[in-house]
Structure 1
Amino acid sequence: MSHFKLGTIALCSLLVSACSSDTNSNLVKTEAIWSDILVKSDGDISKVVAELNVSSRNGNNINLVQGDKLSVTATNNAISANMTKNMDKDNKIFDIDYRANFPYYQADTQYEIRLYRAKDKVTLSSKVTLPEPILILAPQAYQTFSADSALELRWAKATKIIGDQSLKINVDSTCKHGEKEITKSYNYNDIKDDGIQVVDFETIGLFKNEELNSNFTCTVKFSFERRRYGSVDGRYASSSRTYATQTKILENINITIK
């Protein structure tokens, strides 16, 4: 047999092994299930994503079988509405998670995510509420600023902060000239959610590059994320988490290089 064929067989075997790193739920004890549950919204709809692994983040994905299932109930007191859905399996290469979408994005909408174990007839329940949607006030898209000046970001500050709630803002710059492209990023982590952040481009070094000059067309993008943590059923494995995020993006802010 040729070396080429042997190599091909070996590669295929590796791929099959990598793609099949999951374990059926009937083989896993409840206390060995690690959960990572996220409710994310961009101020329009909300998406619930749940990943179940054996023991830890790095464990095999768990494939729910034999009556085991995940479901979600969303309760929106702002509009006196609630909805329950079963979560659908999303089987990606190297990964399994479960998903459900809801039309609710308002602050304090509660999401209860339940895992039902058919054999033991027990239900694990984790809960989280959405933080407030992010409303960006200034600047506006396509406004122009100088790279050697400071820009004032303004948004509607959080009126209710619950538990270990945080806000982060990522700043991404892109500068282009012909086929040349230079990118850079800076992260403001866990900043005060008081509605204002001064972004000094010189201080954060976003445009400190000897190659940059006035021939480049530069833009920046701001990505906001409010994060709120919820409760995790104590029967899940340690370090499991349940959390919710509200995100918003402001892009196409023009920057001039002198």
Structure 2
Amino acid sequence: MADPNNKDDELAGTEQPFVEHLIELRNRLLYAIYGIAVVALALAFFPGPDGLLNFVAEPIRAHMPPDSKLIAVDVFSPFFIPLKVLMMVAVLGALPWIMYQMWAFVAPGLYAHEKRFALPLIVFGSFLAYCGIAFVQFFVLDKMFTFIQHFTPASVAATPDVASYVQAILSLYLAFALAFQVPIVVMLLVRFEMVTIEKLKSFRGYFIVLAFVIAAIVTPPDVLSQLALAIPMCLLYEVGILGSRWFVRISKAPEEGEQEAS
């Protein structure tokens, strides 16, 4: 926070009234919504709601009999589910823009050395979220449905409901996108001195247990999906520990560097 009595404080005198903060927040929210609308409009033309739904449903359709289709139990599902998928993909496509609006809202209250690492963190966080979602789409779902199909009795015909399927994969997308943010969380905890690297290393065993507990809660009740979430979380925890030293060094305030040098 800026100190108005400190002439060396680069944020001194930049405070704004609360109403102006609310106006700025409203503007940033509107910019984010505009970005989502632009992406949604583009996706509506190509590949279109049907194309997006076919792409999202491909992992489960690959494990269904040829020419079989997902069913719509609810009378309005054929209309609303493609639109829901369209908006879901639009939000994901506009994620870097949304994250930028969040950064732009808080940027005036950040020091210059904080701004240098804030934007790269946003880019890195968006990249990790995309990696988590892609991991679900191209690996987890295929293995999960293979596992489920292996235990499906021959007398049972699997005719999944499209609404429940979309809801299930939305939950998986969100779970993996958040789980893949582990390195960001670890580096920020170290940067703001909430925990030390040595403490993180000693906590490693507990984190492994925590990762498997989280995976058991947020994933379907099959071993493969739980392993597919827990193992990347453990690996990303190590990535966070390795990156913490570098992140702390490049994000130090000038006065902190001078104190260490002296």
**TM-score calculated relative to the size of structure 2:** 0.19
Whichever structure has more helix as a proportion of its residues is 2
Query: TM-score by structure 1 length?
Result: 0.20
